[in-house]
Chains A and B, each alone.
Chain A
Amino acid sequence: MPQEKGWKSLSRGGVILEPGNARDYETGSWRTFKPVVDREKCINCMFCWIFCPESAVIVKDDKMEGFNLKYCKGCGICAKECPKKAIEMAKD
């Protein structure tokens, strides 16, 4: 995360001028528990992908492929919402 800018270098009124720079803020550092998916149980319904507040569920070719741990903050919403109980939260 780019930090330590002084007040003189901040944009006027704290306006963010660079779109998409939330990417620079790696919320994965907040995590205590990480989601672990059981591929046997997963039906690729994408509930986890829809509910993830950090867009940290990786999807490729219509298949749920796991989690981007740079951004997964371990909130456990995916595990809670999974209709097949295919996601478990494990101590990171």
Chain B
Amino acid sequence: MPKIIARTGDDAVAEAMRQINPDVVAAYPITPQTEIVQFFSDFVANGKVKTELLCPESEHSAMSACIGASAAGGRVMTATSSQGLAYMWELVYIAASYRLPIVMPVVNRALSGPINIHCDHSDSMGARDSGWVQIFSENIQEAYDNTIQAVRIAEHANLLLPVIVTLDGFIISHAMEQFEILDDDTVQKFVGEYKPEYSLLDAKHPITYGPLQLFDYYMEQKKQQHEVIKSASSVVLQIASEFEKISKRKYELFEEYRMDDADIGIVVLGSASGTAKTVADKLREQGLRAGVLKIRLFRPFPAAELANSLSHLKALAVLDRSDTFGGLGGPVFEEVCASLYNYQFPDGHKIPAVNYIYGLGGRDVTLDHIEKVYRDLEGISRTGKINNLIQYLGVRE
């Protein structure tokens, strides 16, 4: 029977990893690593898992070891955060191009500089074009559930791609919440056994990973990645529906909260979604038709489905917990704008959309901040006029 327990987000993800019981976890053991790996190393030391835990000298080496272990045919996981993900950079791209189904929880924390340890999305957004599937979590339950589903998504025969599962630094990773943990057996049965098609250790069928591909083949290889990650949306939905059977919890590409009849809406990902929903509820009581669209699957970006869901809004705000410095606002805003631009509105109209950069380096995002966003949207929906396309939310002038 599933049990309700109280844990931090790190602890819950470590529990998911224990239940998954991967063959290899290679992870850098100290800062910027989070407690995920610390908790998991306890499970290893106490014989709760049969995992081989490698603690190399850097994240660069950790991901290298993951690539080697995955190419050897193992079920492989790691975890990282902030500078750690930045330090993995080269290998993150390589893991995706080799099509290795590595699963990596990323605790979203700000990148230096200035030096900072708190929540924002600049770390995983930096890896957004690396070819990994990226799934965002709003709370501890989702972080736990997404980690388990990620194994099946990554290893799906039609996909075979690495998957990042994110959870907001400190807000989810270090705060304690109650969540429902599934039985070990149920999770084991759900993830099943990983049967790799190729293995470097299979001496009877020798293979080579990572050959040189120059102007003659590099582009075909990239086209293969381009095509395969597009099919991840349907895999994510299929695994979600299987997961619903064991958990009674429903997951989709994104969550629509009071969007059906909304006039104004906020697109957001991660823990701030909860804050936005609370404010939407409050404004609904005052007669404002406010909705929230929380993105779960960020890579591949569910452009058509998302644009369709937003298409009836009169004004829209996208909340970004990172900036692109010189781009058109934050990365989520760029994706949403591109999605809307390519959406065929029946009457050719355009939805006024604005961007708010919020919560950088762990800056608190309050109910008042979100209410201001909705109030701005209400003004835009009435006048159709945008005064401020991109603004920082909760920043001092």
Cα A32 to Cα B138 with chains together (Å): 62
- Is there contact, CB below 8 Å, between B227 and A7? yes
Cα A7 to Cα B198 with chains together (Å): 19
* Least distance between A18 CB and chain B CB atoms (Å): 9
When each residue 1-26 of chain A gets 1 if its CB lies under 8 Å from chain B and 0 otherwise, what string results?
00101110010111111010000000
Interface centre among A6, A10, A13 (most CB of B within 10 A): A13
* Least distance between A30 CB and chain B CB atoms (Å): 13
Question: Is B221 interfacial (CB 8 A cutoff)?
Answer: yes
Question: Is B257 interfacial (CB 8 A cutoff)?
Answer: no
Residues of A within 8 A of B211 (CB): 14, 16
Q: Chain B interface mostly helix, strand, loop or mixed? A: loop
Interface centre among A3, A6, A15, A19 (most CB of B within 10 A): A15
- Is there contact, CB below 8 Å, between A19 and B206? yes
- Is there contact, CB below 8 Å, between A12 and B220? no
The residue of chain B having its C-beta at the shortest distance from the C-beta of A21 within the complex is B208
The residue of chain A having its C-beta at the shortest distance from the C-beta of B221 within the complex is A14
- Is there contact, CB below 8 Å, between A14 and B217? yes
The residue of chain B having its C-beta at the shortest distance from the C-beta of A20 within the complex is B206
Residues of A within 8 A of B227 (CB): 7
- Is there contact, CB below 8 Å, between B98 and A14? yes
- Is there contact, CB below 8 Å, between B213 and A15? no
* Least distance between B102 CB and chain A CB atoms (Å): 12
- Is there contact, CB below 8 Å, between A13 and B98? yes
State which of B97, B99, B208 has its C-beta within 8 Å of the C-beta of A16. Answer: B208
Question: Is B189 interfacial (CB 8 A cutoff)?
Answer: no
- Is there contact, CB below 8 Å, between A12 and B99? yes
* Least distance between A19 CB and chain B CB atoms (Å): 4
The residue of chain B having its C-beta at the shortest distance from the C-beta of A3 within the complex is B216
Residues of A within 8 A of B319 (CB): none
- Is there contact, CB below 8 Å, between B220 and A5? yes
Give B contacts to A, CB under 8 Å. Answer: 97-100, 160, 197-198, 205-211, 213, 216-217, 220-221, 223-224, 227
Question: Ordered nearest first, which 10 A-B pairs have the shortest CB separation?
Answer: A13-B99, A16-B208, A7-B220, A7-B223, A19-B206, A13-B98, A7-B224, A12-B99, A14-B221, A15-B207
